[in-house]
Structure 1
Amino acid sequence: MRDEWQTQAVRRVEADPDAIHLLFPQAERKGGPTARSALLKALGGDHATIRKLYERGDTGERLAILTALPELDLGPAAVDLVEDALRANDARLVAAALGPYGSAWLDDHAFRHGVLKCVFMSIPLAAVSGLERRFDAELARMLSDYAAERRAAGRPVPRDVMERI
């Protein structure tokens, strides 16, 4: 039944991209966990529509969009969505922002600050896609400064931070 709903919904979006605005919010409930991603793929890289869905979406919808970004062939067009998610106070959105898409397209400054935000929010650094590839001297310095501040305050330093400095 869920597969059937997803198949029909994808066909509707392929025929009429505006149909996604009605289908996307109900997709997970009616079509299962992969339905939102399938609908986004059916848009064929329509960044403007994806942006509208993100801006109007609830946390679950935003999370689905951030998670699907690597599969949507948008190039750097959706970096603004990732940057918005990095300003959120929801750890799930921040972690998703530093998934494969964010790791590939964020500039060095934004990536470093995203990593530091993960540390502040107790998001394990293992959740940061491409951290080993993107790790540089400036990020090492930032993490080292963070660790020094924690020690000076008599607070513990997270193990995954200690492993990288």
Structure 2
Amino acid sequence: MPGAPAAGSTLALALAPFDELRTSVSSHLDTAARAWFDRALDEAAARPGLHGPISVWELRLAEAGRRCGPEHADAVRILILRAARADADTLTRVYRQGTAAERRAVLHALPHLVPGPDAVTIVEDALRTNDTRLVAAALGPYAARHLDTHNWRHGVLKCLFTGVPVDEVADLAHRARADAELARMLSDYADERSAAGRPVPEDLYRVLALTEPASGGEHPPGPEPASGRASGPATDVPTAPEPSPHPGTPSGKES
């Protein structure tokens, strides 16, 4: 069965308490990077005015990799978003305008900053991309709480289809338990691969085992689609993903 996420995994980053994350990041930065980091958090907390089409603190999201190193950039961006008290509308704007790295930070920040399902469209968009790091980030704690059952099942299939480890799927054991439809989808996908002479991912069998009914109880249903929102076609096995629209990156932003 999938166990606890590894310390450096996408899921572990999404679950980390902010205070622990900040302490960890600060301890690994040199003097210049730490000074920039502290200043960026102060700017985000103060929410200074616009610089062209975006806020000054949003520019710091773009600089995080260059200033603090790529190994710390995700955590730095998450902490900047938290300092800015970004709400669902702000996070949606940052996601739409951002690079893939900035989009990952938004997905990681969702469970900390958005209490309800207002940002589910961001998760759904990430699951339509070809970027496996976005797919992994999309299936974090926020999706576990708010993504409807149809899209969550297809998110799990997307992981198997693209090679994203299912250990990155938050609350997988709980949401998969006694899910007969997910079991059918997994079995169909395994049969299709076997018939084509292709290997079946080991993770598929791990998830399939989780779909067994719990003794003396049933799996609680996942979130239903929001009123008025289509859940999409009932496709059993994911086909080759199509890239989502990605508007041009604002001037001055970097990966």
- After TM superposition, the score normalised by the length of structure 2 is 0.61
Deviations 1:88-120 (A, max 9, x none): 001111111111111221010110010011111
Following TM superposition, by how much is the alpha carbon of 1:73 offset from its aligned partner in structure 2, in angstroms?
Answer: 3.6
CA distance in 2, matches of 1:159, 1:53: 36
> Using CA pairs below 8 Å that are at least 6 residues apart, which structure has the higher relative contact order?
2
Tell me if structure 2 keeps the 8 A contact 1:45–1:74. Answer: no
Counterpart of 1:24 (choices 61, 81, 84) is: 61
CA distance in 2, matches of 1:37, 1:28: 12
Q: What's 2:201 paired with?
A: 158
Superposition RMSD in Å: 1.6
- After TM superposition, the score normalised by the length of structure 1 is 0.91
* 2:129 equivalent to 1:98: no
Residue identity over aligned pairs, in percent, reads 50
CA distance in 2, matches of 1:3, 1:69: 25
Q: Which runs of structure 2 are paired with 1:26-65 in the superposition (5 Å)?
A: 26-31=63-68, 33=72, 34-65=75-106
List alignment gaps of at least 5 residues for structure 1.
none
* 2:182 equivalent to 1:139: yes
CA distance in 1, matches of 2:183, 2:135: 20
Q: What's 1:148 paired with?
A: 191
CA distance in 2, matches of 1:21, 1:45: 11
Tell me if structure 1 keeps the 8 A contact 2:95–2:103. Answer: yes
Tell me if structure 2 keeps the 8 A contact 1:47–1:74. Answer: no
Q: What's 1:76 paired with?
A: 117
Following TM superposition, by how much is the alpha carbon of 1:31 offset from its aligned partner in structure 2, in angstroms?
Answer: 4.1
Tell me if structure 1 keeps the 8 A contact 2:108–2:137. Answer: yes
- Is the helix fraction higher in 1 or 2? 1
Tell me if structure 2 keeps the 8 A contact 1:100–1:130. Answer: yes
**CA shift in 2, pair 1:164/1:16, >3 Å:** closer
Runs of 4+ residues over 6 Å off in structure 1: none
Following TM superposition, by how much is the alpha carbon of 1:20 offset from its aligned partner in structure 2, in angstroms?
Answer: 2.1
Which one has a bigger Cα radius of gyration? Answer: 2
CA distance in 1, matches of 2:142, 2:57: 22
* 2:70 equivalent to 1:12: no
Q: What's 1:88 paired with?
A: 129
* 2:171 equivalent to 1:130: yes
Deviations 1:54-97 (A, max 9, x none): 11111111111112222224421211111110000011111111
